[in-house]
Amino acid sequence: MTANPYRPIPVRIEQVTIENEARDLKSFELSFVNEEHRKGWHFVPGQFAFLSIAGVGEAPFGIASAPSEPLLRFTVKRIGTFTTALHELDRGSIIGLRGPYGNSYPWDLMTGRDVVIVSGGFSFTTLRATLVHILQPENRPGFGDVTVIYGARSPGELLYKEELKELEKRPDLRLVICVDRLNGADWPKTEGLVPNVLRQVAPAATNAVALVCGPPVMIRFTHPVLKELGFSPDRVFLSLENRMKCGIGKCGHCNIGPKFVCKDGPVFSYQELLTLPQEY
Amino acid sequence: MPNDVTAVIQRRARELLSSGQVVMLLGYRPGRSSAQPAFITRPEDASLLVFDQSCGPNLAAFLPKVKHLGRIGVVAKGCDSRSIVLLLQEHQLRREDVFILGVGCNGVLQDSRLSDSCQTCQFPNPVIYDELIGEPAAASGQLKAAGGQQSADSGQRWQWFKNEVSRCIRCYACRQVCPSCYCPICFVDTTMPSWVGRTTRLSDNMLFHIIRALHMAGRCVECGACSRACPMAIDLMSLNRKVSQIVKERFGHIAGLRAEEKPPLTVFDPDDRQEFII
Amino acid sequence: MKAKGERRKTAGGMRKGSRRSAVGGQRKAVSSERSAPRILTRAEFDRLIDELVAKCAVYAPVAVEETGKLEFRRIGSSSEVKLEGLADVGVVGQLGLRPKELLFPQCEVLFHFSPSEPGRMVEPEPPQEQVLFGVRPCDGAAVAFLDRFFSGRSDSSAPSDIYYRARRERTTLVGLACNRPADTCFCRAVGGSPSGTTGLDLLLTDLSDGFLAEPVTEKGAALVADMPVASQADMEKKQRLAENAGQAITTTIDTASLKRRLDRTLVSEGSGPADAVWQALSLPCVNCGVCTFLCPTCRCFDVTDEEFRGRGRRMRVWDSCQFTLYSRHASGHNPRATPHSRFRNRVMDKFSYTVAMVGELSCVGCGRCISACPNGIDIRETVETLLKMLPE
Amino acid sequence: MSEMQEFEPRIVAFLCNWCSYAGADLAGISRIQYPPSIRVIRVPCSGRVDPLFILKALQNGADGVLVSGCHPGDCHYLTGNYVARRRFAVLHDLLEFCGIEPGRVSFSWVSAAEGERFAEVVREVTERIRKLGPNRRMNAE
């Protein structure tokens, strides 16, 4: 009997962290209830998984933790039926997990190259996983310069604030955190929209790979800037998040032309997206 | 050989488009299987238009979607014109948005039989128009008691209702073709909360059909578009006729007759009958 | 006289090869010694059905009173089956139950659960054996498409759909060749045939004084193994019927050219002239779900949970790309917000996307979407216009 | 039969904030006895009650629904209950047409001063539904 791809495995919520001032973003750190599930779980930063609450439903989320971290982390915005129910759960609750699904960021291509991470809002999750993975002492030498531009609307809306403050001190990372409006806050230091900040920071495009994840409007204005900076379409990678129901290329919802975001994505090169309808 | 009405519609469409009085002429063109809505924007395409008994779709349903283009000329049968009145009553359309080419209607054929809704039609002629094309049609419709299903026994009515709605596959064709269903988000599509389950089990189907019928109260012109669109041949017309009858008997209102009237469920009379209240 | 699964027309980039199902190990192609066509009289046919009814679920076309149409219903005896003249009407299950629903039900339970026992999800009982009689060759071809779509892919990113497979492995499809195709039929234009055997286990042809039964798989051969072998005259009669039926379908579509033209529009969306073509074509479309729900190859589903008094189930329910809700994110952003982009998605799926995905067109030419469209949209006309308006 | 006698209906009651809810309150304060069958949902006005709420309650396991608001002319928002009355009238007649048992859904006007009347309405509605038995037609199961 083949395993049922629709069957979630049980995980326990070990830690819940409120991430923003609006209190609609929470991080859930999960552990596996069964040891064999933990052993069988392998993923690469950039992949996603479905969280599942029996009686409520399922929804896909990017994995925000790196493979080296002991707990699986998902950062979830309260926006629909499922996320509202999830936000009501406390430590100790058992929920379901399906995955990991999708491709990942292009690790082969990134190896030996500079990495530029551009992210806005709460889509920073899989890019956090990517960053943590790159910064692992055993992994860091494999990459060139690492530049991260991460923006949110206001200081209170930035994810993983304490962690970011620590990362800012690292010499082997250029981390620019920006907000649309500082409103008198003393942190972060930069005010401005992500595409504009990217233009000012101007990371070198030669031998670099850019990873972009953010709301549709940020993506639209980031492309031209990357192009200006000299990034060719095959060096720009986007993580997309179309509506999806199954994660395994059957339910149809997440198609962009003949591609499914769940199995052919969620990461697409800009070059590939140019050959697909603009349905993301 | 185009019939007279078709010839006049073609000529007027050409004139209205050439003179710029309308930007689009919404009419019918023959399809391989049945007449299709036609969206004519060039005078030379006016010759595609036809009018005959296969012209079923209620074109008023398209008006809110194309009115942004400019003034629309529209071919309207009796029921279609009542839908236009309804849209005017509900401020979905302004009178100057449309130029109405009214046509008397002898009923729409479905599978070469007179469509169910047309068998009880009381308004075969347009109630509002800028021009009447052809001769008015004779009202031949017999007023059918709302639903031949009105058995005295609640259990039998239940069996009938259950049997009808249990066939529903929730394709929402009835909703999509209905000029009165213009809500940007239908109650079945809300997710917070999700009022109606996505399944086709009986209780979800019942919820959908009862609320759909209720939303038609005082708003259904009995054009029968929903009934003809239904791939499962659900007797939607009986439900529609019933709500129309309730509204007529209780509030003295007939849908889509006068643009200045208010929709009956948005107003009240202090003396409305309330025998059903404890 | 070996009955072969015919090859479907290939479009650009399409993989050639047998359409033998990738799902279900039981459906082995029939061996040559068992492939001889047989003859069934009506009495023998009735006996076969009654034998099967005693063993498993049997579905066959039945005239339904409320709708006045033929649909598949579970039958309890051969006397309920309407076979006389059946080969002369259009596709069965135009309304009502269609073969697709017996393999991919509109609502299907994935798991039962109880919220008091989080983490415990129980799969439903496996489906029972079923035999479908009177399946049209177009619907057989559609099942073969679904087999491929729902089967696992080699890259393992898309595992096999075990729910579909479970039903498919327990299903026998007995086809009935169309002697008189309806005027909405166009199977030949998309690589099928009114007497095609793709996806079927056994094909019957109504010879008016009996049925010719051609085994396609071992499963099908087993049903008629004890029937007399057909004569040369029977075979010739069948051949004539098949040729006449084939000639009745005159629509042709250059599917390879169509796919090339469609693929060119992918990049110019939003601004290019193709967008205007799609907008014009989609004007009469009201984005209801009739065409997709009736389509034998449309297979999209939503997953939904329900809970009632301490018992719950996770179900999958058909969904349609024509609905706004289909692609709308929880945030409200909708990648296919416009009606014409949804209309386009459906046509592209049929003639381009699934060719890229699994190597096959997903239009089998059954014509249900034509006869059921409330606004008379005819996919043949749509395709004709696209071939005319889009550059090669 | 004994099952029928023991059947204790679950009734969802949509009570308007200004009259019927206060009426229920008064019934409680006055220690007037009435069956413990109702589950109250307070709404700002009977005009807030969408027929969808009523049907959803029945689908989700209620055996009956009671909607109660201010007497005509007494609406806190002047005309909310008049408009609601039209809506309920259509719902009432349509449910009857569809064969949903008469009495599953009831409507009443109860003012803030009518504690005894509120208890009486609940008694009457409960009795009706007890006679009808459990709601099976509109039930999700």
Spacing of C-alpha D22 from chain mean position: 15
| D79, D93, D98: residue with CB nearest B246 | D93
- Phi/psi at D130 (nearest 5 deg)? -60, -40
pLDDT band of C15, cuts 50, 70, 90:
very low
Beta-bridged to residue C132, according to DSSP, are C59, C173
pLDDT tens, residue by residue, C305-327:
988 877 899 999 999 999 999 99
Indicate the SS3 state at residue C40.
strand
| Residue from A263, A247, A277 nearest C352 by CA | A277
Contact D141 C309 (CB under 8 A): yes
**Token pair 């599509």 in the structure block, residue:** B189
* Average pLDDT value over all residues in chain A: 91
- Phi/psi at C219 (nearest 5 deg)? -60, -45
Contact B171 C306 (CB under 8 A): no
Q: Taking CA atoms, what residue in B is nearest to D128?
A: B278
Q: Taking CA atoms, what residue in C is nearest to D140?
A: C308
Which residues of chain B are within 8 Å of residue D128 when distances are taken between CB atoms? none
Interface test with D, best of B158, B268, B275 (most D CBs within 10 A): B268
pLDDT tens, residue by residue, A141-179:
999 999 999 999 988 888 998 999 899 899 999 999 999
- Render the burial of B133-156: b for 16+ CB within 10 Å, e for the rest: bbeebeeebeeeebbebbeeebee
Contact C306 D60 (CB under 8 A): no
Q: Is the pLDDT of residue D86 over 50?
A: yes
Q: Is the pLDDT of residue C5 over 70?
A: no
Cα distances from C11 to residues A217, C14, C352, D83, D117, in angstroms, run 37, 5, 9, 61, 76
C-alpha dihedral, A185 to A191 to A194 to A200, nearest 10°: -140
Give A158-163 contacts, CB < 8 A, sequence gap 24+: A158/A20, A158/A188, A159/A19, A159/A20, A159/A25, A159/A27, A159/A75, A159/A122, A159/A124, A159/A125, A159/A128, A160/A19, A160/A27, A160/A124, A160/A128, A161/A19, A163/A128
Chain pair B-C, CB pairs under 8 angstroms:
108
Measured from the Cβ of residue A216, the count of other Cβ atoms closer than 10 Å reads: 14
pLDDT band of A1, cuts 50, 70, 90:
very low
For A58-84, what is the mean pLDDT? 94
Interface test with A, best of B192, B196, B198 (most A CBs within 10 A): B192
| D82, D95, D109: residue with CB nearest B277 | D109
Contact A249 C153 (CB under 8 A): yes
The DSSP H or E segment spanning D81 is: helix D80-97
Q: Is the pLDDT of residue C4 over 60?
A: no
Q: How many residues does chain A have?
A: 280
Smallest CA–CA distance, residue C222 to chain A, in Å, is: 26
Spacing of C-alpha A89 from chain mean position: 22
Residue with more model confidence, B10 or A241: B10
Q: Which of A68-72, A263-267, A275-279, C25-29 has the lowest mean pLDDT?
A: C25-29
Residue B82 near residue B191 (C-beta atoms within 8 A)? no
Q: How many residues does chain C have?
A: 392
pTM of the model: 0.91
| Residue from B226, B108, B235 nearest B171 by CA | B226
pLDDT tens, residue by residue, C193-216:
999 999 999 999 999 888 999 999
Q: Is the pLDDT of residue C25 over 80?
A: no
Q: Is the pLDDT of residue C8 over 90?
A: no
pLDDT band of B140, cuts 50, 70, 90:
low
| Residue from C78, C183, C83 nearest C135 by CA | C83
Interface test with D, best of C107, C309, C313, C315 (most D CBs within 10 A): C309
For A243-259, what is the mean pLDDT? 93
Q: Which of A106-115, B129-138, B266-275, C146-155 has the lowest mean pLDDT?
A: C146-155
Q: Which amino acid is at A99?
A: G
pLDDT of residue C22: 34
Q: Is the pLDDT of residue D56 over 50?
A: yes
pLDDT tens, residue by residue, B183-216:
999 999 988 888 999 899 999 999 999 999 999 9
Highest-confidence range of A227-241, B107-121, C264-278, by mean pLDDT?
Answer: A227-241
The DSSP H or E segment spanning D85 is: helix D80-97
Q: How many residues does chain D have?
A: 141
pLDDT band of A57, cuts 50, 70, 90:
very high
d(Cα C268, Cα A274) in Å, to the nearest integer? 9
pLDDT tens, residue by residue, B7-18:
999 999 999 999
pLDDT band of A280, cuts 50, 70, 90:
confident
Asked if C328 has any chain A CB less than 8 Å from its own CB, the reply is yes
Chain B residues 174-213 within an 8 A CB cutoff of chain A: 191-194
For D97-124, what is the mean pLDDT? 95
pLDDT of residue A277: 87
Percent of chain B with pLDDT over 70: 95
Q: Is the pLDDT of residue B265 over 60?
A: yes
**Token pair 């796919």 in the structure block, residue:** C259
For C283-288, what is the mean pLDDT? 94
pLDDT of residue C298: 96
pLDDT band of A203, cuts 50, 70, 90:
confident
pLDDT band of D139, cuts 50, 70, 90:
confident
Q: Is the pLDDT of residue C365 over 90?
A: yes
Q: Is the pLDDT of residue D3 over 60?
A: no
B and C make contact (3+ CB pairs below 8 Å): yes
For C285-290, what is the mean pLDDT? 94
pLDDT of residue C96: 63
Q: How many residues does chain B have?
A: 278
For A113-140, what is the mean pLDDT? 92
pLDDT tens, residue by residue, D29-46:
999 999 999 999 999 999
Contact A241 C345 (CB under 8 A): no
Percent of chain C with pLDDT over 90: 61
d(Cα A31, Cα A245) in Å, to the nearest integer? 23
For A191-199, what is the mean pLDDT? 89
Q: What is the DSSP string of A89-137?
A: --TT-EEEEEEEES--S-HHHHTTSEEEEEEEGGGHHHHHHHHHHHHST
Contact C376 B36 (CB under 8 A): yes
Chain C residues 41-80 within an 8 A CB cutoff of chain A: none
Q: Could you tell me the sign of the dihedral formed by the alpha carbons of A140, A143, A147, A153, in that order?
A: negative
d(Cα D41, Cα D67) in Å, to the nearest integer? 10
pLDDT band of B3, cuts 50, 70, 90:
confident
